[in-house]
Amino acid sequence: MNRTGIGISGFSVYLPRHRVRLADWCGWTGDSWDKVRTVIGSGFRMRGPDENAYTMAATAVLRLIDRYGIDPERVGFLALGTESSTDNSAGAVIVKGMLNDALRQQGRAPISRACEVPEFKHACLGGVYALKSAARYLACDGRDRLAIVVSADVAEYARGTSGEPTQGAGAVAMLMSANPALLDLELPIAGSASDYRGPDFRKPFLRFMEQAPGAFAQPRDFPVFNGKYSTTCYVDEVLAAMRGLFERVRTRCAPAPRPAEFLREIAATFLHRPYQRMAETGLIMSYLLALTLGDEEDRAELARYASAAGVDTQDLTTELGAAPEVYQLVREGTLGTELYPLATEVTRAFRQTPMFEHLMTPLGRTAVQDIGNLYSASLPAWLAAGMEDAAAQGMSLDGRRVLALGYGSGDAAEAIPMRVVPGWEAAARNIGFVEALRDPVDLDESGYARLHDGMTAGTAGPRPPGVFYIDRVGTRDRPFDDHGIEYYRFEA
């Protein structure tokens, strides 16, 4: 028995209203819409000029409390996963303070004083680490309490860079509990991996030393990144986490399915999704690896895919099992080197096979293609959209397994199987992902440029109810020093 009896009982989503349609963006930039649509998606969201990771997180959590009828006094763990926080000291306590102000404003009880408020940071994996920590809290001293994990991020890149069409912003909150109503975590067979990768994707403080913050003290948070190298890091770390998962399945499941059989039997796989093509690549590479670890039938299947790509099967098997020293590319100054060239060729051919369509879940895919990269909220967003989609379609998933594959640059990955709990449909129908997509404000080229470049005048747009905003930023012109500290308001 690999179920923990602890897991996810609900999701909620907040997406800022400002949207860039990538078809429009291609018209502004001259990029190929056919290529962008296939590789990346259909659009991305942008935070408003008076929004940040904390406001989005608080809005998502308040929606979670409302949608699932949560008693705030039962919440003993409120964790924030983000790489976009604007305070280098306080963490989720900022979100808790905003929530308690809004709850009291509505005449409701606040979140318990006896509530832990950690923040987790590891690029796009912070939310997954927060989820695992919440599960451990519930398994130990918090079994009779509730935990909330919220992932909130702002993904932004300089205009004219390869990362520009992969921007995004939003937050996803998860209700976690014992005897979960939606997904039971199988942490005993989860796979973990981490390794240092230097300049894969970084946000050094030195970037800010010459920046002048705007009206809401939001410096442009453009990362230092190396696209080709970052793709290599993603693939390599995902494979490492999957090796760990396959080994745990072999030793802890009875009877133990073969790795490829394990993946084929999964109802849906949800991955960290910086853009559509990278998620596809991570899943395909994982399946190719599984075939190399299987029996004669699996190796024959691998040979068919290799042959279609003109690749030698034994060479492909050796490459996938090599576990190369990726950081050595930095030491040697050869960042553009492809460490998995044969697997990359086979991956291209594999996309044309029926097995790709079987493995690559369509659940929630259209919805997440319209929101962009949410960094730490990317995987939770796809998981939420997928479970809501499955409920809307009336799918029978009781007892079926789904797989969540998270990744964070720099470099770490987590592969976590989860079992769908009988009666899951009620919790899934409460998620509200499709509702969160409604009524976007589509930006034209001028509006996008102004908002992207930090110009606040005329870019806020209409403010829907039930959302938190930055009200003002403190200065030293007070009896106390609150220079740079953000104060928030709630639009009831």
- Largest Cα separation within the chain, whole Å, is 76
And the tokens for 105?
Answer: 């404003």
Q: For 107, what's the count of Cα atoms within 13 Å in the CB-facing half-sphere?
A: 0
pLDDT tens readout for residues 428-444: 999 999 999 999 999 99
pLDDT tens readout for residues 95-145: 999 999 999 999 999 999 999 999 999 999 999 999 999 999 999 999 899
Contact between residue 155 and residue 45 where contact means Cβ atoms under 8 Å apart: no
pLDDT of 217 strictly over 60: no
Give the confidence band of 84 by pLDDT, cuts at 50, 70, 90.
very high
The pLDDT of residue 226 is 87
| C-alpha distance across the termini of the chain, in Å | 46
Amino acid letter, residue 360? M
- Tell whether 464 is covered by a domain: yes
pLDDT of 284 strictly over 90: yes
pLDDT tens readout for residues 156-181: 999 999 999 999 999 999 999 999 99
Which one is predicted more confidently, 284 or 210? 284
- Tell whether 200 is covered by a domain: yes
Amino acid letter, residue 42? S
Contact between residue 484 and residue 217 where contact means Cβ atoms under 8 Å apart: yes
pLDDT of 308 strictly over 90: yes
Average pLDDT, stretch 57-67? 98
- Tell whether 96 is covered by a domain: yes
- Tell whether 1 is covered by a domain: no
The pLDDT of residue 459 is 61
Domain ranges, residue 443: 6-491
Say which CATH number the domain at 336 has: 3.40.47.10
Q: What is the CA radius of gyration of the chain?
A: 22
Give the confidence band of 227 by pLDDT, cuts at 50, 70, 90.
confident
- Tell whether 421 is covered by a domain: yes
- Tell whether 336 is covered by a domain: yes
Give the confidence band of 332 by pLDDT, cuts at 50, 70, 90.
very high
Q: Which of 214-223, 320-329, 422-431 has the least mean pLDDT?
A: 214-223
- Tell whether 372 is covered by a domain: yes
pLDDT of 476 strictly over 80: no
- Tell whether 191 is covered by a domain: yes
pLDDT of 191 strictly over 80: yes
pLDDT tens readout for residues 4-53: 899 999 999 999 999 999 999 999 999 999 999 999 999 999 999 899 99
Contact between residue 259 and residue 109 where contact means Cβ atoms under 8 Å apart: no
And the tokens for 260?
Answer: 């490829």
Please count the structural domains in the chain.
1
